[in-house]
Chains A and B, each alone.
Chain A
């Protein structure tokens, strides 16, 4: 496992912390290339067209979905009606799914980020018996696929009576080996030893140092882990699919897929009005994350940098 982090190679890039790499001066006098820009805009169209389709499709009734051209609006746009129907279908279960998702993702993300921060800080600034072995164990776990774990976790949780409770989603999401790795790498740079020494000389306890000083220094890395756990839990499908069977506990992903199955099996296509709900629900469910990513972009970028560069 040492291949991922030869510790010696980790140290030198110390100056690059959150956002700093943007300050690098670039020779800006170079000419812009129009052909390259056009090629990239064509690529951009591939990534945005499906989303544009989703937006347009959300304004249509199920009937219009079948009868009008996919990439243009129908004669009778009805986005608001669709939204209202999505929210009121099955006694407003969609709202529940959204709230569940927010709760699962929020609790998991905050918990995972704090655990990873404490652990990463512990591994980076302290030496203790077995620290290397423990860290390598965690690092090895980065390679273990989560789905290989999901079924045995389900069986264990079934024994413990945790299946079909929110814990079944939250607990497994709290352990993020890659997050711990990122936080360790990050803490190495962002927390100066001299500051820790100074705090200790002033008589601050280790817990106080961690919560008052270290967490603040780690906050850009912390936000990164938070954001990525948030996305992972928000988008998680496999785990809630196997763990939950009460629709009131579903996150939006499992809920939407159950609606999609209903729409598909609801008989003769256009007679079922579920398609419009699936499409509108899909649109509603992606809006919060897309907005979060656009607003927090400086964090996720620097965060991805820490993972990809320091090896």
Chain B
């Protein structure tokens, strides 16, 4: 491709019929890079450079004697056998496997209910379910933390009034579920809106045709709505992969009230944070961040590949 002279008005010719889609693009190549440049420059500086820097740092080790030394992949072999890192990843993987399907199923049910046209107060319900998305995860975690708590949490208060055993939502056995509840509370509405918006784009003629053929509401939902929701479901699933594996805010906040249950390596991300900012192990923290990023990219690709394989059997 060569640069053209879009800049000078005389260089602009009116040549031939425009090809649809390309929109006469051949005549204005030079302006494109200029529009894209500001984003791309910052992208390189703030996205790729840190990634590259993390990769670089992960190849070194801070030694007591001799300063920083190149150690090749030693940090990686260390991380891959580090029980704290592996437990952190395992815990978020478990979280992902349980919380995400539950959350997406709820979001899907809510979206289908809203789209069915059978609801009264649909607008109020839609907005109300979405509202938690506007609540910062810090506030959500603080709030739920207090709600769970044994001191002034209403669950504990009700249990005490009824002389029932007080549920200990902040104990070891409950904690992952309690975290899952917070994340679900925050994001069901967000996912619901994505799915609902996708449902609204299905042409109603399809429903009418299906109804003429004798399909009931369930059949329409299963055979028309669900297949049409595939891309939207895939998007919500991808976002959930990315979100779950980097779980940080909620456990970090609940750590205050349950320090014995949530250790500094409770999730992989919390571990990387601890290494970098309490342990001063910068190189190892970079390794852990980088590996965690890799885990997420691999998980995302796995989701995409599975989805694509099913699309074309």
Residues of A bordering B, CB below 8 Å: 3-4, 11, 13, 16, 21-22, 24-28, 30-34, 36-37, 39-41, 43-44, 46-48, 50-51, 53-54, 57, 65-66, 69-71, 115-116, 118-119, 121-123, 125-129, 131, 134, 137-138, 141-156, 171-172, 174-175, 177, 180, 193, 196-197, 200-201, 203, 206, 210, 231, 234-235, 237-238, 241-242, 252-254, 256-257, 260-261, 264, 269, 275, 278-279, 282, 285-286, 289-290, 292-294, 297, 300-302, 304-305, 307-311
Cross-chain contact of B119 among A40, A57, A141 (Cβ < 8 A)? A40
Shortest beta-carbon distance from A181 to chain B in Å: 11
Chain B, residues 17-41, CB within 8 Å of chain A (1/0): the string is 0100111111011111111101110
Cross-chain contact of A294 among B32, B127, B154 (Cβ < 8 A)? B127
- Note all chain A residues with C-beta closer than 8 A to B147: 50, 53, 70
Q: Find the A residue at minimum CB distance from B114.
A: A40
Known contacts A144-B297, A238-B248; A53 and B143 CB within 8 A of each other: yes
- Note all chain B residues with C-beta closer than 8 A to A193: 18, 23-24
Cross-chain contact of A145 among B42, B118, B157, B245 (Cβ < 8 A)? B245
- Note all chain A residues with C-beta closer than 8 A to B54: 148-149, 151-152
Q: Find the A residue at minimum CB distance from B235.
A: A308
- Note all chain B residues with C-beta closer than 8 A to A302: 197
- Note all chain A residues with C-beta closer than 8 A to B277: 242
Known contacts A131-B36, A151-B285; A115 and B53 CB within 8 A of each other: no
- 5 smallest CB-CB distances across A and B, nearest first, come from A126-B32, A122-B35, A148-B293, A193-B23, A70-B154
Known contacts A32-B120, A237-B136; A203 and B25 CB within 8 A of each other: no
- Note all chain A residues with C-beta closer than 8 A to B28: 126, 200, 206
- Note all chain B residues with C-beta closer than 8 A to A155: 50, 53, 57, 282, 286
Residues of B bordering A, CB below 8 Å: 1, 6, 9, 12, 14, 18, 21-26, 28-36, 38-40, 42-43, 46-47, 49-51, 53-54, 57, 106, 110, 113, 116-121, 124-125, 127-140, 142-144, 146-147, 151-154, 157, 185, 188-190, 193-195, 197-198, 200-201, 203-204, 208, 231-232, 234-236, 238, 242, 245-246, 248-249, 252-253, 256-257, 269, 272-273, 276-277, 282, 285-286, 289-290, 292-293, 296-297, 300-301, 304, 308
- Note all chain B residues with C-beta closer than 8 A to A122: 31-36
Query: Are B50 and A235 in contact (CB-based, < 8 A)?
Result: no
Shortest beta-carbon distance from A246 to chain B in Å: 16
Q: A28-B117, A126-B33, A147-B289 are in contact. List 11 more A-B contacts (CB 8 A).
A: A37-B119, A47-B189, A122-B36, A149-B293, A155-B53, A175-B39, A269-B151, A289-B134, A302-B197, A305-B194, A308-B232
Query: Are A234 and B110 in contact (CB-based, < 8 A)?
Result: no
Complex formed: what's the CA distance from A53 to B133 in Å? 17
Cross-chain contact of A126 among B35, B133, B188, B193 (Cβ < 8 A)? B35
Query: Are B276 and A154 in contact (CB-based, < 8 A)?
Result: yes
Complex formed: what's the CA distance from A2 to B157 in Å? 54
Q: Find the B residue at minimum CB distance from A159.
A: B53
- Note all chain B residues with C-beta closer than 8 A to A43: 106, 110, 125, 129
- Note all chain A residues with C-beta closer than 8 A to B157: 69-70
- Note all chain B residues with C-beta closer than 8 A to A47: 128-129, 131-132, 185, 188-189
27 residue pairs bridging A and B, Cβ less than 8 Å apart: A11-B21, A13-B201, A22-B200, A24-B200, A40-B113, A43-B125, A47-B185, A50-B132, A50-B185, A115-B42, A119-B40, A123-B36, A126-B32, A143-B297, A145-B292, A149-B289, A151-B273, A151-B285, A171-B42, A242-B273, A254-B138, A256-B142, A260-B256, A269-B151, A300-B193, A302-B197, A307-B194
